[in-house]
Structures are given as structure tokens and as C-alpha cells.
Structure 1
Amino acid sequence: MTDPAPPPRIGHNGGPPLEEPEADGGWSHYIWRKAHKKAWKTPPPEIALRRLARAEELGMTYKEYTLEILERGRYL
């Protein structure tokens, strides 16, 4: 019998593994997929257009600019 995997280290965010998920995915994978879908939900048109204009001013794509907002919580 093999030993179970060691517990995650301090600071681990509990995210899914970087490897391919198991066939059923599991609860953790489901929650992360749901959160990802919610985070990338299309905002109202006026917000999307404002982000697009600002991204173009900065020489970024809309997706790069939105990712910056989602990752750091700041508007450039």
C-alpha cells in the first residue's frame, strides 16, 4: 500500500493540479471550473467597451487587460 500524498504546503491555494484532471474531475475541479467561468463572464457592453479602449491605449489585447484586472484587482 502506498502512502497518501503529503498535505499541501503553507500558501497553497488549493487549486487543481497542473496535470490532466482525473476522468470524473472531482469536486475541486468542478469548483475551479465554475469560478473560472464566472470570472470570465462577459461584462455589460459599456464596461467591455471601456476596457477595450483602455487596453488599446496601453497596447494590450482585451483579454490581457482583463486578466490584469482579475489577477491583481487593479485598473491600469
Structure 2
Amino acid sequence: MTPGIGHNGGPPLEEDDDPAGGRLFLWKRAHKRAWKTPPREIALSRLKRAEELGMTYKEYTLEILERGKYL
């Protein structure tokens, strides 16, 4: 059965054999972009603030990425 006029050809409603499919690829790409090393000045300011709060740089950056707020 062919889709009607105006059908956008979206994904089928049935589950694929590989449930992760392209989502895994997209997630890995987004993860890599999020954890990309920022410019030196930003990294140093984050490191300084993390040390003031008693956190590691990675923990502090994770808080920024998860909540979108600077502590």
C-alpha cells in the first residue's frame, strides 16, 4: 500500500530489528559535541569555579550540561 498525498515518509510504526538504529549514532555524535573541549579561557574559568566548589572539572561541566545553569 502506497502512502497518500501529504505523507512525509516517516519511520514505520513497527519496531526495527535493531531498536537503537540511528539513535545510537545520533546520541554518540551529540555526546561528542557536548564534551568538546571549550576555548582555553572558558576551560580555565570552569576549572577555577569547580575548585572553589570542591568539585572536579568534569563534575562541574556535567552540571552545566545537565541543568543549563552555572553554579
Compute the TM-score of the two structures, normalised by the length of structure 2: 0.72
Q: Are 1:38 and 2:33 counterparts? A: yes
Deviations 1:6-63 (A, max 9, x none): xxxxxxxxxxxxxxxx6xx620100000000000000000000000000000000000
- Which ranges of structure 1 fall in alignment gaps of 5 or more residues? 6-21
Mapping of residues 36-75 of structure 1, within 5 Å: 36-75=31-70
Identity %: 71
Structure 1: which 4+ aligned runs deviate by more than 2 Å?
A: none
Higher alpha-carbon Rg: 2
* RMSD over equivalenced CA pairs, Å: 1.5
Compute the TM-score of the two structures, normalised by the length of structure 1: 0.67
